[in-house]
Amino acid sequence: MKHILMAGYPLQEVAPMVFVTNEESTVQLFRLFSPGATDNFYTTSTTEVNSALQNGYATFEPTTFIYPTQICGSVPFYRLFSATGLDNFYTTSESERIGFLSQGYTDVEITGYVLPLEPTQCD
Protein backbone atom coordinates (compact mmCIF):
# COMPACT_ATOMS: atom_id res chain seq x y z
CA MET A 1 0.00 0.00 0.00
CA LYS A 2 2.80 2.40 0.90
CA HIS A 3 4.38 2.02 -2.56
CA ILE A 4 1.08 2.80 -4.24
CA LEU A 5 0.64 6.00 -2.24
CA MET A 6 4.27 6.99 -2.83
CA ALA A 7 3.73 6.57 -6.59
CA GLY A 8 1.14 9.34 -6.41
CA TYR A 9 -2.05 7.31 -6.52
CA PRO A 10 -4.73 8.64 -4.16
CA LEU A 11 -6.35 6.34 -1.62
CA GLN A 12 -10.00 5.87 -2.45
CA GLU A 13 -12.86 4.33 -0.55
CA VAL A 14 -12.48 0.63 0.24
CA ALA A 15 -14.37 -1.57 -2.18
CA PRO A 16 -17.39 -3.62 -1.13
CA MET A 17 -17.21 -7.31 -0.37
CA VAL A 18 -17.22 -9.78 -3.26
CA PHE A 19 -16.74 -13.53 -3.26
CA VAL A 20 -13.55 -15.26 -4.45
CA THR A 21 -15.43 -18.51 -5.05
CA ASN A 22 -18.70 -19.16 -6.85
CA GLU A 23 -21.18 -19.10 -3.99
CA GLU A 24 -24.87 -19.95 -4.28
CA SER A 25 -26.76 -17.47 -6.49
CA THR A 26 -23.62 -15.55 -7.56
CA VAL A 27 -22.25 -14.90 -11.05
CA GLN A 28 -18.73 -14.26 -12.25
CA LEU A 29 -17.56 -10.63 -12.29
CA PHE A 30 -14.93 -10.21 -14.97
CA ARG A 31 -12.27 -7.51 -14.68
CA LEU A 32 -10.64 -6.19 -17.82
CA PHE A 33 -8.15 -3.38 -18.39
CA SER A 34 -7.30 -1.23 -21.40
CA PRO A 35 -3.71 0.02 -21.31
CA GLY A 36 -4.47 2.46 -24.14
CA ALA A 37 -7.40 4.05 -22.35
CA THR A 38 -6.07 3.27 -18.84
CA ASP A 39 -9.56 2.06 -18.07
CA ASN A 40 -10.79 -0.73 -15.80
CA PHE A 41 -13.91 -2.51 -16.99
CA TYR A 42 -16.05 -4.83 -14.85
CA THR A 43 -18.91 -6.90 -16.23
CA THR A 44 -20.85 -10.09 -15.67
CA SER A 45 -21.63 -10.37 -19.40
CA THR A 46 -19.53 -12.73 -21.54
CA THR A 47 -20.76 -10.80 -24.59
CA GLU A 48 -19.27 -7.60 -23.15
CA VAL A 49 -16.06 -9.46 -22.26
CA ASN A 50 -15.66 -10.68 -25.85
CA SER A 51 -16.34 -7.19 -27.23
CA ALA A 52 -13.84 -5.61 -24.83
CA LEU A 53 -11.17 -8.18 -25.76
CA GLN A 54 -11.67 -7.31 -29.44
CA ASN A 55 -11.17 -3.63 -28.54
CA GLY A 56 -7.80 -4.01 -26.84
CA TYR A 57 -8.79 -4.88 -23.28
CA ALA A 58 -7.09 -7.73 -21.42
CA THR A 59 -8.58 -9.87 -18.66
CA PHE A 60 -7.26 -9.76 -15.10
CA GLU A 61 -7.27 -12.47 -12.49
CA PRO A 62 -8.39 -13.40 -9.92
CA THR A 63 -12.01 -13.85 -10.75
CA THR A 64 -14.61 -12.65 -8.27
CA PHE A 65 -18.33 -13.29 -7.93
CA ILE A 66 -21.30 -11.04 -7.17
CA TYR A 67 -25.08 -11.31 -7.03
CA PRO A 68 -26.96 -10.64 -10.30
CA THR A 69 -30.07 -9.54 -8.40
CA GLN A 70 -30.57 -7.85 -5.06
CA ILE A 71 -30.59 -10.04 -1.98
CA CYS A 72 -31.12 -9.06 1.62
CA GLY A 73 -28.39 -6.67 2.72
CA SER A 74 -26.81 -6.20 -0.71
CA VAL A 75 -26.29 -2.85 -2.44
CA PRO A 76 -26.14 -1.90 -6.14
CA PHE A 77 -22.76 -1.85 -7.88
CA TYR A 78 -23.34 1.07 -10.27
CA ARG A 79 -21.54 1.45 -13.58
CA LEU A 80 -21.21 4.92 -15.08
CA PHE A 81 -19.37 6.06 -18.21
CA SER A 82 -17.75 9.26 -19.44
CA ALA A 83 -17.74 9.43 -23.24
CA THR A 84 -15.37 12.41 -23.19
CA GLY A 85 -12.90 10.72 -20.84
CA LEU A 86 -13.52 7.19 -22.13
CA ASP A 87 -13.77 6.13 -18.52
CA ASN A 88 -15.89 3.51 -16.78
CA PHE A 89 -16.56 4.34 -13.14
CA TYR A 90 -18.01 2.02 -10.49
CA THR A 91 -19.42 2.78 -7.08
CA THR A 92 -21.82 1.55 -4.43
CA SER A 93 -22.30 5.08 -3.10
CA GLU A 94 -25.48 6.84 -4.21
CA SER A 95 -24.01 10.26 -3.38
CA GLU A 96 -20.82 9.51 -5.35
CA ARG A 97 -22.96 8.29 -8.26
CA ILE A 98 -24.94 11.55 -8.24
CA GLY A 99 -21.70 13.54 -8.11
CA PHE A 100 -20.30 11.78 -11.17
CA LEU A 101 -23.60 12.21 -13.03
CA SER A 102 -23.32 15.96 -12.41
CA GLN A 103 -19.82 15.84 -13.97
CA GLY A 104 -21.15 14.47 -17.26
CA TYR A 105 -21.01 10.72 -16.65
CA THR A 106 -24.03 8.68 -17.68
CA ASP A 107 -25.64 5.72 -15.96
CA VAL A 108 -24.91 2.51 -17.84
CA GLU A 109 -26.31 -0.18 -15.57
CA ILE A 110 -26.28 -1.80 -12.21
CA THR A 111 -23.53 -4.35 -12.86
CA GLY A 112 -24.74 -6.49 -9.96
CA TYR A 113 -25.15 -6.42 -6.21
CA VAL A 114 -22.45 -6.63 -3.57
CA LEU A 115 -22.28 -6.74 0.18
CA PRO A 116 -21.30 -3.56 2.03
CA LEU A 117 -18.39 -3.65 4.46
CA GLU A 118 -20.85 -2.89 7.25
CA PRO A 119 -23.70 -5.40 6.93
CA THR A 120 -27.27 -4.26 7.45
CA GLN A 121 -30.12 -6.05 9.16
CA CYS A 122 -32.64 -7.84 6.97
CA ASP A 123 -36.35 -7.60 7.60
Residue spans of beta strands (DSSP E) within the chain? 27-34, 39-43, 58-66, 75-82, 87-91, 106-114
Burial class (CB in 10 A: 0-12, 13-18, 19+), 87: middle
Please say whether the beta carbons of 79 and 88 come within 8 A.
Answer: yes
Please give the span between the terminal C-alpha atoms of the chain, in angstroms, as a whole number.
Answer: 38
Mean pLDDT of the chain: 86
How does pLDDT run across 16-74, given as a tens digit for each residue? Answer: 789 999 999 999 999 999 888 788 999 999 999 999 999 999 998 888 999 999 998 89
pLDDT band at 8 (very low <50, low <70, confident <90, very high): low
Instruction: Name the pTM for this structure.
Output: 0.82
Selection from 10, 9, 29, 3 nearest residue 18 by Cα: 29
pLDDT given at position 2: 47
d(CA 105, CA 91): 13
pLDDT given at position 118: 76
For residue 6, pLDDT over 80 is answered with: no
For residue 13, pLDDT over 70 is answered with: no
